[in-house]
Amino acid sequence: MKVEKICCIGAGYVGGPTMAVIALKWPEINVTVVDIDDDKIDMWNSDDLSQIPVYEPGLKDIIKQTRNKNLFFSKNIEKAIDESQMIFMAVNTPTKQTGKGAGMASDLTYIENSARTIASFANSHKIVIEKSTLPVRTAEKIKEILSESKNKFTFEVLSNPEFLAEGTAIQDLFKSDRVLIGGESTKTGQEAVQSLVEIYERWIPKTKILTVNVWSAELSKLASNAMLAQRISSINALSALCEVTGAKIDEVSNAIGYDHRIGDKFLKASPGFGGSCFKKDILNLVYLCQFYGLDEVAEFWLHVVKINDFQRERLAKKIDNYVSANNLNKEVGVLGWAFKKDTNDSRESSSIHITYSLLEKGYKVNIYDPKVSKNRIMEDINEVRNFKKTINPDSIIDNIIIHNSIKDLENSSLVLIVLTEWDEFKDLNKSKEDKIIFDFRNILEEKENIYRL
Ligand code: UDX
Ligand code: UDX
């Protein structure tokens, strides 16, 4: 099938960068990204490229080269679906808040709504591609919705999970370790797989494009994220042991990583993993295991999340113990709100949880992040506040000050906590002998006043 037009539903952290790269590599294909959030589409179309909603190194340049040439951000969802041969679904799939599986399973409302939107506007053969991370067998549900359409159209559903990491999304898309495409073994299923293989083949070596069955593709995404997160929880669990024994976690991690069977990646101790995927995907996996009666397996994976929560609370307590033991004012400066450097995304960031824990302990908290907006920071705190139904909620908000520069923040508090590894924080090493710095990202050299993990 000749692909001339591609549509993507969801202009977020995955949809935006992924479609920008496809548009760059395929100037002869028109790529249209749509979203239910009109304001987001306006931001993607903004003349000032610093206003596009996703901050990713290298993204602005690609948008500059492709936007309104063959990459379009549009509010006309109907037209984009009707005209395209290939439709990617890159909408968010948060953890369910109510109903069966609440707190564990993925909320598939957005995916199902997107499938319904496709079902209402499609009038010709469509290859529908799951980009969002989905529980195994979601493709069945999508097929069911598409089959119920009154419109006469045929379709194939593929699973093509995205493995990009935020902050390095463009590089990850350019040089993917692998591209995974799941499709049905029928003739038409395999033809659809082939059409998508051809899209990626333009820049990804064929040996790195893996074609598998749909369920394997869906499960591989959950499993990859669970394995990565598991390494972080393993090293963070060991960091707690190092602290009480006098071993140094970086030295232990380095020694472990030298074993080529283990490898040195994803072994950095930290205040805990954040981001929109790890916790959600593991809980999803846990739910799946429970559903199939595999309680021990469910418990195994759930502990990866429990250790993450433990690490956050352990570090908040460490600060509190230090402040109490030294009779200091209950005031701290938090450096970094994003869940990792080089992104403006703060979803599930450990900064939120550590800050909130300190606020609950009566602290005044000064915050600075180079890319996360003030509004976003306050929304994050309010979300936890609403969820926890904190007693005396106003006092929590009164105790937060968000600063515009690292200088302002440094002047604000005696105790500073590094929670995101932004490059600009490395300069803290040079100055500030009068400050007490807790470096929970181990980016500073150890000194008398600098405590590393
Ligand atoms: C992605 C994946 O798709 C998700 O499955 C993964 O687990 C996390 O990363 P992401 O791109 O990071 O999601 O989410 P987000 O930045 O929130 O973007 C999703 C977009 O979809 C939003 O802009 C939202 O407005 C849009 N959306 C949502 C729709 O266009 N239609 C809907 O019905 C729901
Ligand atoms: C992750 C997966 O890496 C990616 O393949 C998938 O598509 C989406 O989920 P992302 O969440 O964007 O990507 O970032 P990642 O680099 O994996 O970092 C996740 C969290 O783990 C961050 O908070 C990071 O600081 C933390 N981390 C990472 C550690 O604490 N230690 C490490 O050694 C590595």
Tokens of 321: 């113990």
| 450-452 β-sheet, strand order | 400-402, 364-368, 331-335, 415-418, 436-439, 450-452
Residue nearest to atom 31 of ligand 2 (CA): 268
Strand partners, 450: 437, 447
pLDDT of residue 396: 82
pLDDT of residue 152: 86
Q: What does the alpha-carbon distance between residue 55 and residue 311 come to, in Å, rounded to a whole number? A: 28
For ligand 1, residues with CB inside 6 Å are: 9-15, 35-37, 40, 90-93, 110, 113-114, 131-133, 276-277
What's the whole-number average pLDDT of the chain?
Answer: 95
State the greatest distance between any 2 C-alpha atoms of the chain, in Å, as a whole number: 73
Which ligand sits nearest to residue 225's alpha carbon? Answer: 2
Strand partners, 5: 30
Residue nearest to atom 7 of ligand 2 (CA): 163
pLDDT of residue 135: 80
The stretch 253-276 carries a mean pLDDT of 97
Where residue 390 falls among pLDDT bands split at 50, 70, 90?
low
pLDDT of residue 165: 95
Are the C-beta atoms of residues 236 and 311 closer than 8 Å to each other?
A: yes
Are the C-beta atoms of residues 384 and 355 closer than 8 Å to each other?
A: no
CA–centroid distance, 165 to ligand 2, in Å, is 6
Q: What does the alpha-carbon distance between residue 134 and residue 449 come to, in Å, rounded to a whole number? A: 46
The stretch 330-344 carries a mean pLDDT of 97
CA–centroid distance, 225 to ligand 2, in Å, is 8
Q: Domains, the chain, ranges and CATH?
A: 5-212 (3.40.50.720), 223-452 (3.40.50.720)
pLDDT > 70? residue 421: yes
The 3-state DSSP class for residue 33 equals strand
pLDDT of residue 429: 77
Higher-confidence residue of 263 and 410: namely: 263
Which ligand sits nearest to residue 266's alpha carbon? Answer: 2
pTM over 0.85: yes
Q: What does the alpha-carbon distance between residue 219 and residue 442 come to, in Å, rounded to a whole number? A: 33
Inter-helix orientation angle 109-121/138-147, to 10°: 30
* Closest to 438 (Cα-Cα) out of 450, 422, 430, 420: 450
Q: What does the alpha-carbon distance between residue 197 and residue 194 come to, in Å, rounded to a whole number? A: 5
Q: What does the alpha-carbon distance between residue 282 and residue 143 come to, in Å, rounded to a whole number? A: 25
57 CB-near residues (< 8 Å, 6+ apart): 167, 168, 170, 342
pLDDT above 90 as % of the chain: 87
* Closest to 91 (Cα-Cα) out of 180, 192, 16: 16
pLDDT of residue 373: 95
Q: What does the alpha-carbon distance between residue 446 and residue 249 come to, in Å, rounded to a whole number? A: 13
Atom of ligand 2 nearest to the CA of 164: 7
pLDDT > 80? residue 391: no
* Closest to 136 (Cα-Cα) out of 310, 291, 265, 24: 291
Q: What does the alpha-carbon distance between residue 188 and residue 133 come to, in Å, rounded to a whole number? A: 24
Classify residue 333 as exposed, middle or buried by CB count within 10 Å of its CB (0-12, 13-18, 19+).
buried
The stretch 71-80 carries a mean pLDDT of 98
Amino acid at 352: I
Are the C-beta atoms of residues 418 and 437 closer than 8 Å to each other?
A: yes
Scan for tokens 């001339």, then name that residue.
4
The stretch 178-202 carries a mean pLDDT of 97
The stretch 36-62 carries a mean pLDDT of 96
Encode pLDDT of 217-243 as tens digits. 989 999 999 999 999 999 999 999 999
Q: What does the alpha-carbon distance between residue 367 and residue 355 come to, in Å, rounded to a whole number? A: 9
CA–centroid distance, 14 to ligand 2, in Å, is 14
Encode pLDDT of 345-373 as tens digits. 999 999 999 999 999 999 999 999 999 99
* Catalytic status, residue 277: yes
Give the C-alpha distances (Å, rounded to integers) separating 62 from 196, 224, 445: 22, 28, 37
pLDDT of residue 434: 85
CA–centroid distance, 295 to ligand 1, in Å, is 30
Residue nearest to atom 12 of ligand 1 (CA): 13
Encode pLDDT of 279-299 as tens digits. 999 999 999 999 999 999 999
Are the C-beta atoms of residues 5 and 88 closer than 8 Å to each other?
A: no
93 CB-near residues (< 8 Å, 6+ apart): 106, 107, 108, 110, 111, 132, 133, 134, 280
Are the C-beta atoms of residues 180 and 357 closer than 8 Å to each other?
A: no
Encode pLDDT of 2-34 as tens digits. 899 999 999 999 999 999 999 999 999 999 999
Where residue 132 falls among pLDDT bands split at 50, 70, 90?
confident
Amino acid at 391: I
Are the C-beta atoms of residues 72 and 62 closer than 8 Å to each other?
A: no
The stretch 33-48 carries a mean pLDDT of 97
